[in-house]
Amino acid sequence: MTTNHDVVVTGLGATTPLGGDVATTWDALLAGRSGVSTNNMDWVERFDLPVRIAAQLAVDPTEVLPRVEARRLDRSEQVAMIAAREAWKDAGHSDDTVDKDRLAVIVGTGIGGAMTLLNQDDLLEEHGLRKVSPLTVPMLMPNGPAAHVGLEFKARAGVHAPVSACASGAEALAWAWRMIRTGEADVVVAGGAEACICAIPVAGFSQARTMSTRNDEPEKASRPFDTGRDGFVLGEGAGIMVLERADFAAARGAKVYGRLAGIGTSSDGYHITAPDPEGTGQARAISAALRTAGLDPSDVGHVNCHATSTPVGDVAETVAIRKAIGDHPVLNAPKGALGHLLGAAGAVEGIVTLLSIRDGVIPQTLNLDNLDPAVELDVVAGEPRKVKLEAAVNDAFGFGGHNVALAFTPA
């Protein structure tokens, strides 16, 4: 039975190429800093890869986690744990603030434990069976980040792991919204995690010609909406939110960042990697988010775009925005600074969207020197823009035609 509870966000956590927590990441975004740098891993030279840049974590997880714990987790699980602990603490929760039967965890990932899989295969090839870790499967499975976060907080209402490519983190938030709205949970820890800056993904994306090769200017490589864009920059990180039933949060006196007012999901049915250039599926997801939020397109003042810095994808998204919302929203694209965090992108950028509403400021899109004339919308560039927002939408799209839109409103 649908109960239609309001869903509020009470805690935020992140670790990104711009900072080891939410506050540092947000400050760096507003300051116009880039998280992209030269990738000095030895395999870049060994395989003569054409892409030699990446958006690597600002703070290595091994500097944060206890040594024994870090060794037992894949890097994607490490970042999920760091972000989840920050969000849980930020929400003011403890062991007795929520019935564990009413607590759920949903953490998505696009690829999962790629580093573990590759490292363990190397050990097997070079040294044989006895060197392979008995924790290999729990470390490489895509539900690993969700499972470990669920164990951390003893969640028993459900632990889920959407795997929807670059829409995974946003889909986790959408799934959390549904669980609270239908009365399945009072509190959901949700978001996305990704850490796969390793040889196979970089080689594969390179062969697909989806990544920037601006190796001589790493900080300028990710250029959403710019006429000089030539592909995305692979990044890593995690973003986690604590979402709650509004009356439950109010009863415990929790601070509230804002409302996840509505969500929309759809699929393109068009191509495994390319978006529908007409933006039809993306527009349906955005329209659904507004409908479930009870918003009119005129209410939306800002769209935090998925815009990855690919020639086709950036323009297709703006076509969808114009169809679903109109010409009036102010746009930005955090991937200019963060790179593309794949399965974590939608969750981290959902946090950015919420903070834009809270602080009344939209970060600039980094490296936007010459706006593509096909965009035909107002994109923040040069410096942050102060604006009062009554509603904002966060877009997230993924290979396979996965589309997710999240509508946020103030507390």
Q: What are 331-346's pLDDT values in tens digits?
A: 999 999 999 999 999 9
Q: What is the mean pLDDT of residues 93-120?
A: 96
Cα dist from 105 to 73, 95, 151, 192, 357, whole Å: 18, 15, 9, 11, 25
Q: Which tokens is 295 given?
A: 């918003």
Q: Do the domains spanning 7-252 and 264-409 agree at the CATH topology level? A: yes
Q: What is the mean pLDDT of residues 160-180?
A: 98
**Residue 4 binned pLDDT confidence (cut-offs 50, 70, 90):** confident
Helices (H) and strands (E) in the chain, counts: 14, 15
393 contacts 286 by C-beta, under 8 angstroms:
yes
- How much is the mean pLDDT over the chain? 97
329 contacts 376 by C-beta, under 8 angstroms:
no
Computed on alpha carbons and rounded to an integer, the radius of gyration of the chain in Å comes to: 20
Catalytic residues: 166
Pick the CATH number of 7-252 from 3.40.190.10, 3.40.47.10, 3.40.50.720, 3.40.50.740: 3.40.47.10
* Domain range list for the chain: 7-252, 264-409
- Which of 391, 164, 400, 408 shows the shortest CA–CA distance to 263? 408
The per-residue b/e assignment along 127-152, b for 16 or more CB within 10 angstroms, e otherwise, is eeeeeeeeebebbbbbbbbbbbbbee
Residue 30 has pLDDT above 90, yes or no: yes
pLDDT of 208-256, one tens digit each?
A: 999 999 999 999 999 999 999 999 999 999 999 999 999 999 999 999 9
Residues 6+ apart with CB under 8 A from 239: 12, 13, 14, 16, 83, 169, 191, 192, 341, 344, 347, 348, 349, 350, 351
Q: What is the mean pLDDT of residues 289-295?
A: 98
Residue type, 343: G
Model confidence, pTM: 0.97
Residue type, 26: W
Q: Which CATH class is domain 264-409?
A: alpha beta
Residue 280 has pLDDT above 80, yes or no: yes
> What's the pLDDT at 193?
98
List the beta bridge partners of residue 258: 9
> What's the pLDDT at 225?
98
